[in-house]
Chains A and B, each alone.
Chain A
Amino acid sequence: MKKMIEKWSELKTEFGIKAILDSLFAGVIYGTLIFVPVYIILVEIAMIFMYRLYTFVIIIIFIAMLNVFVINKLASKALFLKKPDAKSDIKNLMLIHSGFWMSIVLIIGLVFIFILIPILWV
Protein backbone atom coordinates (compact mmCIF):
# COMPACT_ATOMS: atom_id res chain seq x y z
CA MET A 1 0.00 0.00 0.00
CA LYS A 2 2.81 2.37 0.97
CA LYS A 3 4.62 1.55 -2.27
CA MET A 4 1.50 2.30 -4.21
CA ILE A 5 1.03 5.69 -2.62
CA GLU A 6 4.65 6.44 -3.41
CA LYS A 7 4.09 5.46 -7.03
CA TRP A 8 1.01 7.69 -7.23
CA SER A 9 2.89 10.69 -5.83
CA GLU A 10 5.69 9.98 -8.33
CA LEU A 11 3.14 10.02 -11.14
CA LYS A 12 1.54 13.19 -9.76
CA THR A 13 4.91 14.95 -9.60
CA GLU A 14 5.87 13.85 -13.08
CA PHE A 15 2.59 14.66 -14.88
CA GLY A 16 0.57 16.93 -12.60
CA ILE A 17 -3.03 16.37 -11.53
CA LYS A 18 -4.48 18.10 -14.60
CA ALA A 19 -2.71 15.79 -17.06
CA ILE A 20 -3.66 12.66 -15.11
CA LEU A 21 -7.32 13.73 -14.96
CA ASP A 22 -7.24 14.62 -18.64
CA SER A 23 -5.92 11.14 -19.49
CA LEU A 24 -8.52 9.45 -17.32
CA PHE A 25 -11.22 11.57 -18.93
CA ALA A 26 -9.99 10.52 -22.38
CA GLY A 27 -10.06 6.89 -21.26
CA VAL A 28 -13.62 7.21 -19.94
CA ILE A 29 -14.87 8.99 -23.08
CA TYR A 30 -13.36 6.58 -25.60
CA GLY A 31 -13.92 3.52 -23.44
CA THR A 32 -17.60 4.44 -23.12
CA LEU A 33 -17.94 5.16 -26.85
CA ILE A 34 -16.53 1.71 -27.60
CA PHE A 35 -18.70 -0.11 -25.10
CA VAL A 36 -22.06 1.66 -25.34
CA PRO A 37 -23.14 -0.31 -28.46
CA VAL A 38 -21.93 -3.53 -26.80
CA TYR A 39 -24.13 -2.88 -23.75
CA ILE A 40 -27.15 -1.99 -25.89
CA ILE A 41 -26.67 -5.12 -28.01
CA LEU A 42 -26.43 -7.32 -24.91
CA VAL A 43 -29.48 -5.77 -23.23
CA GLU A 44 -31.55 -6.03 -26.40
CA ILE A 45 -30.58 -9.68 -26.94
CA ALA A 46 -31.26 -10.39 -23.25
CA MET A 47 -34.78 -8.96 -23.65
CA ILE A 48 -35.49 -11.49 -26.40
CA PHE A 49 -33.82 -14.40 -24.63
CA MET A 50 -35.17 -13.50 -21.19
CA TYR A 51 -35.16 -17.18 -20.16
CA ARG A 52 -31.37 -16.88 -20.15
CA LEU A 53 -31.47 -13.67 -18.08
CA TYR A 54 -28.82 -14.69 -15.56
CA THR A 55 -26.43 -15.84 -18.29
CA PHE A 56 -26.72 -12.42 -19.89
CA VAL A 57 -26.28 -10.62 -16.58
CA ILE A 58 -23.05 -12.57 -16.02
CA ILE A 59 -21.86 -11.69 -19.56
CA ILE A 60 -22.71 -8.01 -18.95
CA ILE A 61 -20.72 -8.07 -15.69
CA PHE A 62 -17.67 -9.45 -17.52
CA ILE A 63 -18.10 -6.90 -20.31
CA ALA A 64 -18.33 -4.10 -17.72
CA MET A 65 -15.09 -5.37 -16.15
CA LEU A 66 -13.48 -5.40 -19.58
CA ASN A 67 -14.79 -1.86 -20.10
CA VAL A 68 -13.05 -0.73 -16.90
CA PHE A 69 -9.84 -2.41 -18.05
CA VAL A 70 -10.04 -0.69 -21.47
CA ILE A 71 -10.69 2.71 -19.84
CA ASN A 72 -7.55 2.33 -17.76
CA LYS A 73 -5.56 1.00 -20.72
CA LEU A 74 -6.58 4.03 -22.78
CA ALA A 75 -5.79 6.36 -19.87
CA SER A 76 -2.29 4.91 -19.56
CA LYS A 77 -1.88 5.20 -23.35
CA ALA A 78 -2.91 8.88 -23.13
CA LEU A 79 -0.33 9.45 -20.39
CA PHE A 80 2.40 7.78 -22.47
CA LEU A 81 1.45 9.93 -25.44
CA LYS A 82 1.80 13.04 -23.27
CA LYS A 83 5.29 12.01 -22.14
CA PRO A 84 6.77 9.06 -24.07
CA ASP A 85 9.86 8.97 -21.84
CA ALA A 86 7.90 8.92 -18.57
CA LYS A 87 9.69 7.26 -15.66
CA SER A 88 6.65 6.52 -13.49
CA ASP A 89 5.29 2.98 -13.37
CA ILE A 90 2.10 3.95 -15.27
CA LYS A 91 1.22 0.44 -16.47
CA ASN A 92 1.30 -1.07 -13.01
CA LEU A 93 -0.56 1.82 -11.43
CA MET A 94 -3.33 1.67 -14.00
CA LEU A 95 -3.53 -2.09 -13.64
CA ILE A 96 -4.07 -1.74 -9.89
CA HIS A 97 -6.53 1.10 -10.51
CA SER A 98 -8.52 -1.01 -12.97
CA GLY A 99 -8.38 -3.97 -10.56
CA PHE A 100 -10.01 -1.83 -7.87
CA TRP A 101 -12.82 -0.64 -10.15
CA MET A 102 -13.31 -4.13 -11.60
CA SER A 103 -13.93 -5.48 -8.12
CA ILE A 104 -16.48 -2.69 -7.54
CA VAL A 105 -18.24 -3.69 -10.79
CA LEU A 106 -18.18 -7.33 -9.70
CA ILE A 107 -19.76 -6.47 -6.34
CA ILE A 108 -22.50 -4.40 -8.02
CA GLY A 109 -23.11 -7.29 -10.45
CA LEU A 110 -23.44 -9.79 -7.62
CA VAL A 111 -25.88 -7.46 -5.83
CA PHE A 112 -27.96 -7.47 -9.03
CA ILE A 113 -27.86 -11.27 -9.37
CA PHE A 114 -28.61 -12.18 -5.77
CA ILE A 115 -30.68 -9.26 -4.48
CA LEU A 116 -32.10 -6.83 -7.01
CA ILE A 117 -33.27 -9.18 -9.78
CA PRO A 118 -35.09 -11.62 -7.43
CA ILE A 119 -36.77 -8.63 -5.70
CA LEU A 120 -37.68 -6.67 -8.82
CA TRP A 121 -38.60 -9.56 -11.10
CA VAL A 122 -41.98 -10.36 -9.55
Chain B
Amino acid sequence: MNELTEKAWPIIKLLFIPYVLLLFLLIYPIEYYLDAPGGLTEVESLIDIDYNEDKITNGTISTTYIVALNRPTFFQFIVGYFSPYTTIDALTGSYADYTNSEISQISYWDKYTSVDASLIVAFLAAQNDNSEIIIDYVEKVLVFGKATYLSNYDMINFGDEFISVMGDNGLVNSLSDVAANTVLSSAYDFTFKNAEGENYVVSLTKDTESGKFGITFKTAYLVNKETTFPQYTVSNSNIGGPSGGLLQTLAIYNMLVNEDITQGLKIAGTGTIQYDGSVGYIGGVKQKVATAYLNKVDVFFMPNLDDNYVYDNYQEALKACEELGIKDTDWIVPVASFQDALDYLQGLGD
Protein backbone atom coordinates (compact mmCIF):
# COMPACT_ATOMS: atom_id res chain seq x y z
CA MET B 1 0.00 0.00 0.00
CA ASN B 2 2.72 2.45 1.07
CA GLU B 3 4.85 1.81 -1.99
CA LEU B 4 1.93 2.44 -4.34
CA THR B 5 0.86 5.54 -2.41
CA GLU B 6 4.42 6.87 -2.55
CA LYS B 7 4.62 6.25 -6.31
CA ALA B 8 1.22 7.83 -7.01
CA TRP B 9 1.57 10.69 -4.51
CA PRO B 10 2.25 13.48 -7.09
CA ILE B 11 -0.88 12.46 -9.04
CA ILE B 12 -2.95 12.17 -5.85
CA LYS B 13 -1.92 15.70 -4.80
CA LEU B 14 -2.70 17.06 -8.26
CA LEU B 15 -6.11 15.41 -8.55
CA PHE B 16 -7.34 15.72 -4.97
CA ILE B 17 -9.21 19.04 -5.32
CA PRO B 18 -10.75 18.26 -8.77
CA TYR B 19 -11.77 14.83 -7.38
CA VAL B 20 -13.54 16.34 -4.36
CA LEU B 21 -15.19 18.93 -6.63
CA LEU B 22 -16.38 16.20 -8.98
CA LEU B 23 -17.84 14.22 -6.06
CA PHE B 24 -19.60 17.37 -4.85
CA LEU B 25 -21.21 17.82 -8.30
CA LEU B 26 -22.23 14.18 -8.28
CA ILE B 27 -23.69 14.07 -4.77
CA TYR B 28 -24.99 17.48 -3.75
CA PRO B 29 -28.78 17.76 -4.30
CA ILE B 30 -30.40 20.98 -5.48
CA GLU B 31 -33.96 22.26 -4.95
CA TYR B 32 -35.24 21.43 -8.43
CA TYR B 33 -37.21 18.62 -9.99
CA LEU B 34 -36.33 16.89 -13.20
CA ASP B 35 -38.73 14.90 -15.37
CA ALA B 36 -37.25 12.54 -17.95
CA PRO B 37 -38.74 9.83 -20.21
CA GLY B 38 -39.13 6.43 -18.55
CA GLY B 39 -40.70 3.37 -20.07
CA LEU B 40 -43.77 1.20 -20.44
CA THR B 41 -44.98 -1.37 -17.94
CA GLU B 42 -47.44 -4.01 -19.07
CA VAL B 43 -50.36 -3.94 -16.64
CA GLU B 44 -50.43 -7.77 -16.69
CA SER B 45 -47.09 -7.77 -14.85
CA LEU B 46 -48.66 -5.70 -12.05
CA ILE B 47 -52.23 -7.01 -11.80
CA ASP B 48 -53.31 -10.57 -12.37
CA ILE B 49 -56.99 -11.54 -12.40
CA ASP B 50 -57.78 -15.16 -11.73
CA TYR B 51 -60.30 -15.40 -14.58
CA ASN B 52 -60.47 -16.20 -18.29
CA GLU B 53 -57.12 -17.99 -18.01
CA ASP B 54 -57.44 -19.57 -21.49
CA LYS B 55 -58.13 -16.29 -23.24
CA ILE B 56 -55.49 -15.30 -25.79
CA THR B 57 -54.65 -11.60 -25.86
CA ASN B 58 -52.71 -10.63 -28.96
CA GLY B 59 -51.86 -7.05 -28.05
CA THR B 60 -50.54 -5.39 -24.92
CA ILE B 61 -51.83 -2.70 -22.60
CA SER B 62 -49.18 -0.73 -20.74
CA THR B 63 -48.96 2.18 -18.38
CA THR B 64 -46.34 4.81 -19.06
CA TYR B 65 -43.94 5.89 -16.38
CA ILE B 66 -41.54 8.77 -16.39
CA VAL B 67 -38.50 9.41 -14.25
CA ALA B 68 -39.32 12.18 -11.78
CA LEU B 69 -36.22 13.20 -9.88
CA ASN B 70 -36.90 15.41 -6.91
CA ARG B 71 -33.75 17.26 -5.88
CA PRO B 72 -31.40 16.01 -8.62
CA THR B 73 -27.67 16.45 -8.20
CA PHE B 74 -25.78 19.27 -9.94
CA PHE B 75 -24.48 16.75 -12.44
CA GLN B 76 -27.97 15.44 -13.26
CA PHE B 77 -29.17 19.01 -13.60
CA ILE B 78 -26.42 19.73 -16.16
CA VAL B 79 -27.04 16.50 -18.12
CA GLY B 80 -30.81 17.04 -18.04
CA TYR B 81 -30.44 20.60 -19.22
CA PHE B 82 -28.94 19.42 -22.51
CA SER B 83 -31.43 16.62 -23.14
CA PRO B 84 -34.37 17.59 -25.39
CA TYR B 85 -36.72 15.26 -23.53
CA THR B 86 -36.31 16.54 -19.99
CA THR B 87 -38.13 19.26 -18.09
CA ILE B 88 -36.36 20.98 -15.22
CA ASP B 89 -37.97 23.42 -12.83
CA ALA B 90 -37.70 24.70 -9.27
CA LEU B 91 -39.27 22.50 -6.62
CA THR B 92 -42.23 24.49 -5.33
CA GLY B 93 -45.49 24.01 -3.43
CA SER B 94 -45.94 21.42 -0.72
CA TYR B 95 -43.46 19.08 -2.40
CA ALA B 96 -40.67 21.53 -1.52
CA ASP B 97 -41.37 20.86 2.18
CA TYR B 98 -41.37 17.08 1.87
CA THR B 99 -38.32 14.87 1.99
CA ASN B 100 -37.68 12.56 -0.97
CA SER B 101 -38.80 9.64 1.17
CA GLU B 102 -42.12 11.36 1.97
CA ILE B 103 -42.67 12.12 -1.73
CA SER B 104 -42.11 8.40 -2.42
CA GLN B 105 -44.70 7.50 0.25
CA ILE B 106 -47.29 9.84 -1.30
CA SER B 107 -46.49 8.37 -4.69
CA TYR B 108 -46.96 4.85 -3.33
CA TRP B 109 -50.39 5.68 -1.89
CA ASP B 110 -51.39 7.40 -5.12
CA LYS B 111 -50.55 4.18 -6.96
CA TYR B 112 -52.29 2.01 -4.37
CA THR B 113 -55.57 3.96 -4.50
CA SER B 114 -55.40 4.24 -8.29
CA VAL B 115 -55.14 0.44 -8.66
CA ASP B 116 -58.24 0.04 -6.46
CA ALA B 117 -60.08 2.72 -8.45
CA SER B 118 -59.19 0.85 -11.65
CA LEU B 119 -60.44 -2.43 -10.20
CA ILE B 120 -63.74 -0.82 -9.18
CA VAL B 121 -64.37 0.86 -12.55
CA ALA B 122 -63.33 -2.17 -14.61
CA PHE B 123 -65.27 -4.69 -12.49
CA LEU B 124 -68.42 -2.51 -12.57
CA ALA B 125 -68.13 -2.15 -16.36
CA ALA B 126 -67.61 -5.87 -16.87
CA GLN B 127 -70.46 -6.64 -14.45
CA ASN B 128 -72.91 -5.13 -16.95
CA ASP B 129 -72.44 -8.13 -19.24
CA ASN B 130 -71.55 -10.75 -16.68
CA SER B 131 -73.44 -10.97 -13.40
CA GLU B 132 -70.87 -13.49 -12.09
CA ILE B 133 -68.50 -10.61 -11.45
CA ILE B 134 -68.75 -9.09 -7.98
CA ILE B 135 -66.96 -6.04 -6.67
CA ASP B 136 -67.11 -4.94 -3.04
CA TYR B 137 -65.42 -1.85 -1.67
CA VAL B 138 -65.40 0.44 1.34
CA GLU B 139 -64.92 4.17 1.69
CA LYS B 140 -61.89 5.30 3.67
CA VAL B 141 -60.43 8.68 4.51
CA LEU B 142 -56.65 8.60 4.22
CA VAL B 143 -53.87 11.02 5.16
CA PHE B 144 -52.42 12.42 1.94
CA GLY B 145 -50.70 15.62 3.04
CA LYS B 146 -48.92 17.04 6.05
CA ALA B 147 -48.04 20.71 6.52
CA THR B 148 -44.76 21.61 8.19
CA TYR B 149 -46.67 23.04 11.16
CA LEU B 150 -48.64 19.82 11.82
CA SER B 151 -48.23 18.90 15.49
CA ASN B 152 -46.95 15.36 16.16
CA TYR B 153 -45.77 15.33 12.55
CA ASP B 154 -43.77 12.10 12.82
CA MET B 155 -46.52 10.12 14.54
CA ILE B 156 -48.84 10.34 11.54
CA ASN B 157 -47.90 8.56 8.33
CA PHE B 158 -49.17 9.02 4.81
CA GLY B 159 -51.93 6.51 4.09
CA ASP B 160 -53.06 6.30 7.74
CA GLU B 161 -56.85 6.15 8.01
CA PHE B 162 -58.85 8.84 9.76
CA ILE B 163 -61.22 7.20 12.26
CA SER B 164 -62.63 9.97 14.44
CA VAL B 165 -62.02 13.15 16.35
CA MET B 166 -63.25 14.10 19.82
CA GLY B 167 -65.02 17.30 18.78
CA ASP B 168 -66.80 20.08 20.69
CA ASN B 169 -70.03 18.07 20.86
CA GLY B 170 -68.65 14.55 21.15
CA LEU B 171 -67.17 11.96 18.81
CA VAL B 172 -67.10 12.87 15.11
CA ASN B 173 -66.63 10.08 12.58
CA SER B 174 -67.39 11.90 9.36
CA LEU B 175 -64.72 14.06 7.75
CA SER B 176 -67.31 16.55 6.53
CA ASP B 177 -68.30 17.29 10.15
CA VAL B 178 -64.78 17.86 11.46
CA ALA B 179 -64.53 21.58 10.66
CA ALA B 180 -67.87 22.41 12.31
CA ASN B 181 -67.02 20.44 15.44
CA THR B 182 -63.50 21.72 16.07
CA VAL B 183 -64.18 25.39 16.70
CA LEU B 184 -64.03 26.06 20.44
CA SER B 185 -60.61 24.68 21.32
CA SER B 186 -57.16 24.88 19.73
CA ALA B 187 -56.26 21.19 20.21
CA TYR B 188 -58.29 18.03 19.59
CA ASP B 189 -57.69 14.30 19.94
CA PHE B 190 -57.74 12.54 16.57
CA THR B 191 -57.89 8.78 16.16
CA PHE B 192 -56.13 7.19 13.19
CA LYS B 193 -55.53 3.65 12.04
CA ASN B 194 -52.00 2.83 10.82
CA ALA B 195 -50.92 0.44 8.07
CA GLU B 196 -50.69 -2.40 10.62
CA GLY B 197 -54.38 -1.91 11.45
CA GLU B 198 -53.75 -0.48 14.93
CA ASN B 199 -55.69 2.55 16.15
CA TYR B 200 -53.76 5.38 17.80
CA VAL B 201 -54.82 8.71 19.29
CA VAL B 202 -52.86 11.85 18.60
CA SER B 203 -53.52 15.39 19.76
CA LEU B 204 -53.44 17.91 16.93
CA THR B 205 -53.10 21.62 17.61
CA LYS B 206 -54.35 24.28 15.21
CA ASP B 207 -51.72 26.54 13.65
CA THR B 208 -51.99 30.03 15.14
CA GLU B 209 -51.63 31.77 11.75
CA SER B 210 -53.78 29.64 9.46
CA GLY B 211 -56.11 28.22 12.12
CA LYS B 212 -55.73 24.81 10.49
CA PHE B 213 -54.49 21.48 11.80
CA GLY B 214 -52.17 21.07 8.79
CA ILE B 215 -53.36 17.70 7.57
CA THR B 216 -54.86 16.85 4.17
CA PHE B 217 -57.20 13.91 3.67
CA LYS B 218 -58.32 12.06 0.57
CA THR B 219 -61.44 9.96 0.37
CA ALA B 220 -60.69 6.70 -1.39
CA TYR B 221 -62.64 3.55 -2.09
CA LEU B 222 -60.65 0.45 -1.27
CA VAL B 223 -61.60 -2.95 -2.62
CA ASN B 224 -62.61 -5.65 -0.19
CA LYS B 225 -60.64 -8.52 -1.67
CA GLU B 226 -62.33 -11.36 0.20
CA THR B 227 -65.80 -10.55 -1.10
CA THR B 228 -64.79 -9.73 -4.65
CA PHE B 229 -65.01 -12.18 -7.55
CA PRO B 230 -62.89 -13.10 -9.44
CA GLN B 231 -59.88 -13.03 -7.15
CA TYR B 232 -56.87 -11.00 -8.16
CA THR B 233 -53.29 -10.31 -7.11
CA VAL B 234 -51.47 -6.99 -7.28
CA SER B 235 -47.67 -7.22 -7.34
CA ASN B 236 -45.52 -4.76 -5.47
CA SER B 237 -44.65 -1.89 -7.75
CA ASN B 238 -41.56 0.27 -7.78
CA ILE B 239 -43.40 2.80 -9.91
CA GLY B 240 -45.64 5.21 -8.05
CA GLY B 241 -48.27 7.78 -8.91
CA PRO B 242 -51.89 7.69 -10.07
CA SER B 243 -51.39 8.32 -13.79
CA GLY B 244 -51.67 4.66 -14.79
CA GLY B 245 -55.36 4.60 -13.76
CA LEU B 246 -56.97 4.60 -17.21
CA LEU B 247 -54.68 1.97 -18.70
CA GLN B 248 -54.95 -0.24 -15.61
CA THR B 249 -58.73 -0.06 -15.95
CA LEU B 250 -58.60 -1.04 -19.64
CA ALA B 251 -56.25 -3.95 -18.92
CA ILE B 252 -58.35 -5.25 -16.00
CA TYR B 253 -61.51 -4.95 -18.11
CA ASN B 254 -59.77 -6.90 -20.87
CA MET B 255 -58.94 -9.67 -18.39
CA LEU B 256 -62.60 -9.91 -17.35
CA VAL B 257 -64.37 -9.94 -20.73
CA ASN B 258 -64.26 -12.59 -23.43
CA GLU B 259 -63.36 -10.32 -26.35
CA ASP B 260 -59.79 -9.08 -26.88
CA ILE B 261 -60.09 -5.30 -26.81
CA THR B 262 -56.40 -4.82 -27.68
CA GLN B 263 -57.07 -5.80 -31.35
CA GLY B 264 -53.46 -7.04 -31.43
CA LEU B 265 -52.07 -3.56 -30.87
CA LYS B 266 -49.41 -2.14 -28.58
CA ILE B 267 -51.56 0.13 -26.45
CA ALA B 268 -50.25 2.61 -23.90
CA GLY B 269 -51.39 5.88 -22.46
CA THR B 270 -51.80 7.93 -19.37
CA GLY B 271 -54.50 9.53 -17.23
CA THR B 272 -55.90 9.06 -13.76
CA ILE B 273 -59.21 7.26 -13.36
CA GLN B 274 -62.09 8.56 -11.24
CA TYR B 275 -64.69 6.31 -9.68
CA ASP B 276 -67.31 7.42 -12.24
CA GLY B 277 -65.03 6.30 -15.08
CA SER B 278 -63.93 9.78 -16.10
CA VAL B 279 -60.26 10.45 -16.79
CA GLY B 280 -58.17 13.05 -14.97
CA TYR B 281 -55.18 15.16 -15.93
CA ILE B 282 -51.59 14.09 -15.29
CA GLY B 283 -48.16 15.74 -15.31
CA GLY B 284 -45.04 15.07 -17.37
CA VAL B 285 -46.90 15.04 -20.70
CA LYS B 286 -43.80 15.78 -22.80
CA GLN B 287 -41.83 12.94 -21.22
CA LYS B 288 -44.73 10.52 -21.59
CA VAL B 289 -45.15 11.38 -25.27
CA ALA B 290 -41.40 10.92 -25.75
CA THR B 291 -41.50 7.57 -23.92
CA ALA B 292 -44.38 6.34 -26.06
CA TYR B 293 -42.72 7.56 -29.27
CA LEU B 294 -39.39 5.92 -28.40
CA ASN B 295 -41.24 2.67 -27.60
CA LYS B 296 -43.17 2.79 -30.89
CA VAL B 297 -46.67 2.31 -29.47
CA ASP B 298 -49.66 1.95 -31.82
CA VAL B 299 -52.23 3.77 -29.68
CA PHE B 300 -51.55 6.27 -26.91
CA PHE B 301 -54.50 7.52 -24.84
CA MET B 302 -54.21 11.05 -23.51
CA PRO B 303 -56.70 12.96 -21.31
CA ASN B 304 -58.60 15.61 -23.27
CA LEU B 305 -61.20 17.40 -21.16
CA ASP B 306 -61.19 20.97 -22.47
CA ASP B 307 -59.58 22.06 -25.76
CA ASN B 308 -59.52 25.69 -24.61
CA TYR B 309 -57.64 24.96 -21.41
CA VAL B 310 -53.97 25.77 -21.87
CA TYR B 311 -52.83 22.81 -19.75
CA ASP B 312 -55.19 20.30 -21.34
CA ASN B 313 -53.03 17.16 -21.62
CA TYR B 314 -53.94 16.43 -25.25
CA GLN B 315 -53.14 19.99 -26.31
CA GLU B 316 -49.88 19.75 -24.37
CA ALA B 317 -49.11 16.47 -26.13
CA LEU B 318 -49.60 18.04 -29.56
CA LYS B 319 -47.26 20.87 -28.55
CA ALA B 320 -44.72 18.37 -27.24
CA CYS B 321 -44.82 16.50 -30.58
CA GLU B 322 -44.09 19.77 -32.38
CA GLU B 323 -41.21 20.52 -30.00
CA LEU B 324 -39.73 17.04 -30.37
CA GLY B 325 -40.13 17.03 -34.16
CA ILE B 326 -42.73 14.23 -34.17
CA LYS B 327 -44.80 14.86 -37.30
CA ASP B 328 -47.40 12.10 -37.13
CA THR B 329 -49.72 12.54 -34.14
CA ASP B 330 -52.53 10.15 -35.17
CA TRP B 331 -51.39 7.58 -32.63
CA ILE B 332 -52.24 9.97 -29.78
CA VAL B 333 -55.92 9.46 -29.01
CA PRO B 334 -57.78 12.06 -26.91
CA VAL B 335 -60.16 10.59 -24.32
CA ALA B 336 -62.27 11.98 -21.49
CA SER B 337 -63.39 8.71 -19.96
CA PHE B 338 -62.76 4.99 -19.76
CA GLN B 339 -65.78 4.51 -22.02
CA ASP B 340 -64.20 6.78 -24.68
CA ALA B 341 -61.08 4.61 -24.72
CA LEU B 342 -63.13 1.43 -24.83
CA ASP B 343 -65.32 2.76 -27.67
CA TYR B 344 -62.21 3.73 -29.64
CA LEU B 345 -60.68 0.26 -29.30
CA GLN B 346 -63.93 -1.52 -30.06
CA GLY B 347 -64.36 0.78 -33.07
CA LEU B 348 -61.03 -0.45 -34.43
CA GLY B 349 -62.32 -4.00 -34.35
CA ASP B 350 -65.48 -3.25 -36.30
State the A residues within 8 Å of B (CB).
22-23, 25-27, 29-30, 33, 36-37, 40-41, 44-45, 47-51, 53, 74, 77-78, 81-82, 120-122
Contact = CB atoms under 8 A, between A and B. Distances in A.
A44 B39 contact: no
Interface of B: 1, 3-5, 7-8, 19, 22-23, 26-27, 34, 36-39, 41, 45-46, 67, 69, 73, 75-76, 79-80, 83, 86, 235-239, 290-291, 294-295
Closest 7 pairs between A and B when the two form their complex, measured CB to CB = A81-B3, A26-B1, A78-B4, A26-B4, A48-B36, A40-B26, A50-B67
A82 B23 contact: no
Given A53-B39, A120-B238, A45 B79 contact: yes
A29 B83 contact: no
B46 A47 contact: no
A37 B36 contact: no
B4 A122 contact: no
A49 B83 contact: yes
Given A41-B26, A48-B86, A50-B38, A30 B67 contact: no
A81 B80 contact: no
B79 A51 contact: no
14 contacts: A23-B1, A26-B1, A29-B1, A40-B26, A47-B36, A47-B69, A48-B36, A49-B37, A51-B37, A51-B39, A51-B295, A53-B39, A78-B4, A81-B4
A22 B1 contact: yes
Contact of A121 (B26, B37, B41, B79): B41
Chain A contact residues: helix, strand, loop or mixed: helix
B41 A37 contact: no
B294 A51 contact: yes
A37 B23 CA distance: 7
A53 B291 CA distance: 13
A47 B1 contact: no
A82 B4 CA distance: 9
A50 B235 CA distance: 22
Contacts of A82: 3
Given A47-B67, A121-B238, A30 B8 contact: yes
Contacts of B39: 50-51, 53, 121
Given A81-B4, A122-B237, A122-B238, A48 B34 contact: yes
A122 B45 contact: yes
Contacts of A45: 79
